[in-house]
Structure 1
Amino acid sequence: MAAWRSILVTKPCKLSLKDMQLVYKPYEEESIKVPLEDITVIVLETNQATITTALLSQIAEKNIAMFSCDSFHIPNGCFTPFHQHSRLSQIAHIQTAMKLPLKKQFWQKIITQKITNQSAMLHKFEKENMQLEVLKDKVKSGDSENLEALAARKYWKLFFDRFTRDQKALDPKNIALNYGYAIVRGAVARSLVAYGLLPTFGVFHSSELNAYNLADDMIEPLRPMVDMVVKKLELEDELAVEMGVSVKSALINILNMQMRLNNENVTIVSICDIMAYSFVKALKHNDVNHLKLPEIA
């Protein structure tokens, strides 16, 4: 059975390993044990947690994504396994030798699916989506006309009332979106590494200061799922400037939600693996059609 648990650590504590279980020991409270094989992600929100090297090693072995957080409690770092794939060198050479035309084809497919999913999300919340339906069929190689940005402007205006998407803004919706995207981004990076890919080398994103360029490419079709959860939290009046544990838990649990892939409903954490595997296959065959991307269920 696939791992499914997400661990949010908010209290000062010690994290250690015993009998292949994570031992969570808050100060002056009883210990809690969780089998490592059940864990997908660990978020260390407190800066007063100590962790043993034995546990760190097994987190890498079990391919668990572990996040640290900044002073605003937003994930700012991700601990991922180091080059576990047996054919890392072969895959790395194929990836870094990727030609520009193939990169542009990958980006066209990714953005087409992102806009398709944004349109489906508008429809899900009974919002007018014809403007995005028209755009999704017009994306060219490399998104040369930057329809992603045009679709985003229309999407945010329709999806949230009187809202501007700003990564640096400290309003509740932007904070929640940043948190959710960071969690999903880490899960994508975890899967890329597991399949021998180098997250630094993207198909569109190419910043020399970004260790996760490829993850930032591959996350795009998944973003509307984060938007959906934040929208529901807004409708339920759950959002606040200081996000509570229930909101953070809902955002972390996005990894266990389902999207549609290969005519099946699949959890997002499994979709990350499928996307990574299919990306490797597409690289090996020099054929973007092998890349599998999810739809809104």
Structure 2
Amino acid sequence: MKPSLLVLIPLSDESRTHIAASFEVSYAPTHEARKEAIATEGAQIRAVLTNGTTGLTAPEIDAMPALEFVSALGAGYENIATDHARARGIVLANGAGTNDDCVADHAMALLLAVVRDVPQRDRATREGIWRDALPMRPSVSGKRLGVIGLGNIGRKVARRAAGFDIEVAYHNRKPREGATWRYFADVNELARWSDYLVVATPGGPSTHHLINRDVLEALGPKGFLVNVSRGSVVDTAALAHALSHGVIAGAGLDVYEGEPQPPQALLPLTNVVLTPHVAGTSPESTGASVDNFITNATRHFAGEDVLTPI
């Protein structure tokens, strides 16, 4: 008999079919469906698939007495009650490494788009405006990039930046063993050194509003910010003020506080490029994430250790 699995996040038909070959799937990607599934099927559920944004609460865990395995599809897991799950002996896993390349690619795309003002130039071209009527934009190459959070994604952003002859430094809770880039223990000092800041740190209480008014002022009027981590890491009010008052030059954001709605204060601004939390999604990355989940869950139910534990 296949283990029962509760899926709390949207998945394509192809992904659901792939997972259903190994598990008895209850699909509940909306709040209403989630509540009903836990109420009616909670006693039988042995595994849950979620993500960092959707999470899984302690009361929900308690409503599933047979639950023994919880996985985030991607790398993030900030809204999963991990301590509560561990206290129950539940095995936790995530999709670390499955979408790193996609996120790093998107971070560079946002940086290029906002520095070179690609969305506004596209609009101007469609309106018949020629280059002579537009202010010149700075080059991307030959500058300084500060990476906030030197995990797998941060490292890949740094390597991509090297292709643009960009000097890289980073901030982390502590220096990364083996990292050859310059380390800054203080975020403000890194921002002051940088032309660009790319945020690739995990979300959660420890990084809430890590990028605040002081950091943005240190980045300065020629500086650009890119966030591909979690919306909570950036103080939205401080960013809106910085963008509208020339404190920084521009920003590229894939994540926001209050998702799925983007902050209203940012929408009228032309010096910010916005995408709807898609940095980690592509056919390739989604396929890899689903395969990783199936491998981890199959190993768990076979009595083996998972490959990417939380």
TM-score exceeds 0.5: no
TM-score (norm 1): 0.30
Higher Rg: 2
Q: Which has the higher helix share?
A: 1
